[in-house]
Amino acid sequence: MQRFAPSRIAITAALLLASPLAAQNAPVDAATATANAALEAAPVFDGHNDVPNQLRARVANQINGFDFEDTSHTGDAHPQGAVMQTDLVRLKQGKVGAQFWSVYVPSNTDEAEAVQQVIEQIDVTRRLIARYPEGLRYAETADQVERAMADGKVASLLGMEGGHSIGSSLGVLRQLYALGARYMTLTHNSNIPWADAATDKPLHGGLSDFGKDVVREMNRIGMLVDLSHVSEDTMMDALDVAKAPVIFSHSGARAVNGHPRNVPDSVLARLPENGGIVMVVALPRFITEDLRQWGARRAGEEARLGALLLGQPDMVKAGMAKWDAANPEPKSTIADMADHIDHIRKVAGVESIGIGGDFDGMPSGPVGFEDVRGYPLLFAELAKRGYSQAELEMIASRNALRVMRAAEAYAASVAGEPAIETLITPPAKAE
């Protein structure tokens, strides 16, 4: 099996040759200067942002009058008044140079409806990109990403979230690639007919035979295989089959936070051989273990009160208010996110790390990283922990670009092979 692990000698040489450069015209400490220099040389290539879903939820994809320069006005279109976390001004402040926009649609057992919806999300995202040529530039390849970055644009790529979006059809997969999708997360929160999700009861024991052919066909056409959201067995099956690097577009390390959405060490240990990356997420309950434990305790108390006070919702509400007052919610911090990066570097190496914030797919990021402006603070925290400028550049975007190029190279090497034509085997019906 062809592998794409980077050369350790080359990485070591790059680290030795690199030296931190002070940011110009700013009285900053050494760590901030190192972070600024790294992000100037290699702007952030973020793996997952849910702006397209916000467009669907807030304005029904009617964007001709939508202002993406400044989304501070968007609270009016949200039931709780929440403002979007992304716009062109804040992307620039956050030193974001490339973004995978998630053309996500909710988990749906009606796969034909899911296919229609993902095409609609591709349409609205490409229209948004086209409306802002001064700030955004559509991209499909690593070279196009680098050119857009060099020109000061946010290279804008499309990533599908959830294999239900292909309707269990390799033909649909290929046509969505033709429409611009450059990665697919194999599942979202629920199992699909050919793959198990991390947050659902196991059904297939990982990937079905058809699911393995989905991975093979994604490799053949050059679409990145995204293993965020999938079960550990699905991760392992995909790594067994994959001939190009995989990504985790927005996940953390399970050893730091035990949420099943995070990547276990058993999988991290295999990433160097595969050449893949974990794009570390900012979602608080995935990165902060104290917060996850607090949430479990709170859910337990709510269940207890509900059982004791049947038919008395006002009493349950009052009891929970008292519990909340006595048990304040822990805060999630940038340091928590950095802890995941530290752990992945320890187990899999710095070349296995990227960034995938999940902005506009969560209520807020950690304190200091509530929206897309926060990336420089994260990189300054890493610099304080001893990361060199060369390492920060790798985490910011060089690792992601390497993975894209490896997937493109593998696809080019098998360009003469015919399309896989496997049909899904329907699950057996219960008697």
Averages of pLDDT over each 10 residues, the chain, 431 residues:
39 39 53 98 98 97 97 86 96 98 93 96 98 98 98 98 97 98 98 98 97 98 98 98 98 98 98 98 98 98 97 97 98 98 98 98 96 98 98 98 98 98 71 49
* Set 111, 146, 164, 188: catalytic member: 188
**Catalytic annotation present for 342:** no
Q: Which residue has the tokens 């060089």?
A: 398
* Set 46, 111, 146, 161: catalytic member: 161
pLDDT at 77: 77
**Catalytic annotation present for 360:** no
Class of domain 27-288+332-413: alpha beta
* Set 46, 48, 217, 371: catalytic member: 48
The letter for the amino acid at 185 is T
**Catalytic annotation present for 250:** yes
Which stretches does DSSP call E strand in 316-362?
353-355
pLDDT at 28: 64
* Set 46, 50, 213, 237: catalytic member: 50
How far apart, in whole angstroms, are the C-alpha atoms of residue 375 and residue 378?
5
How far apart, in whole angstroms, are the C-alpha atoms of residue 103 and residue 53?
7
Q: How far apart are the first and last CA of the chain?
A: 42
**Catalytic annotation present for 161:** yes
pLDDT at 272: 98
Tell me the CA distances in angstroms from 354 to 301, 377, 379, one per residue in order. Answer: 37, 16, 12
* Set 46, 146, 226, 250: catalytic member: 250
How far apart, in whole angstroms, are the C-alpha atoms of residue 350 and residue 15?
11
* Set 229, 259, 340, 343: catalytic member: 229
Tell me the CA distances in angstroms from 62 to 51, 52, 54, 160, 216, one per residue in order. Answer: 13, 11, 11, 20, 36
**What ranges do the domains of the chain cover?**
27-288+332-413
How far apart, in whole angstroms, are the C-alpha atoms of residue 142 and residue 300?
47
pLDDT at 26: 43
**Catalytic annotation present for 358:** yes
**Catalytic annotation present for 50:** yes
Structure tokens at 234: 């699905």
How far apart, in whole angstroms, are the C-alpha atoms of residue 306 and residue 323?
14
How far apart, in whole angstroms, are the C-alpha atoms of residue 283 and residue 340?
12
**Catalytic annotation present for 164:** no
pTM: 0.92
Q: Which residue has the tokens 């400028």?
A: 389
Alpha helix positions (H), 67-107: 88-93
